[in-house]
Amino acid sequence: GAGVSQSPSNKVTEKGKDVELRCDPISGHTALYWYRQRLGQGLEFLIYFQGNSAPDKSGLPSDRFSAERTGESVSTLTIQRTQQEDSAVYLCASSLFLGVGGRSYEQYFGPGTRLTVT
């Protein structure tokens, strides 16, 4: 597609429920990233996928958070047993990738999903 797309754009859920957020990267971008942005703060890295390599999950805040990606396409971020502190905008980004140690590529962001846990 023309850009990174995310769905839903807004999600309100009750504390304790599970939520699933979706990201569609730019076609041809092999790297995909999830970030979280709490109100008034910068972006926090959550997880990074590159092709068929094992994902870098070092930013996931707890075992309630998980993410999957099928090949080089869609990714889903799942938050189980949501808590109020999970309320944030969840942003997905994608980029080209030319191997670890290769040149750096800029990341392009989707519009985000605003998650509100009541």
Partner 1 sequence: EDKVVQSPLSLVVHEGDTVTLNCSYEVTNFRSLLWYKQEKKAPTFLFMLTSSGIEKKSGRLSSILDKKELSSILNITATQTGDSAIYLCAVGAGGTSYGKLTFGQGTILTVHP
Query: Of 8 and 16, which CB lies nearer to partner 1 in the complex structure?
Result: 8
Minimum distance from residue 25 beta carbon to partner 1 (Å): 13
Minimum distance from residue 64 beta carbon to partner 1 (Å): 20
Cα dist. 88→10, 44, 115 in Å?
A: 10, 11, 5
Give contact residues for partner 1 (rule: CB under 8 A): 4, 31, 33, 35, 41-45, 48, 50, 56, 58-59, 89, 91, 97, 100-101, 103-104, 106-112, 114
Query: Of 57 and 81, which CB lies nearer to partner 1 in the complex structure?
Result: 57
Angstrom distance (rounded) from CA 101 to CA 99: 6
Q: Determine the residue type at 47.
A: I
Tokens 């092709």, located at residue? 51
Q: Cα torsion at 44, 94, 56, 20 (round to 10°)? A: 70
Query: Of 15 and 21, which CB lies nearer to partner 1 in the complex structure?
Result: 21
Angstrom distance (rounded) from CA 28 to CA 48: 16
Query: Of 50 and 82, which CB lies nearer to partner 1 in the complex structure?
Result: 50
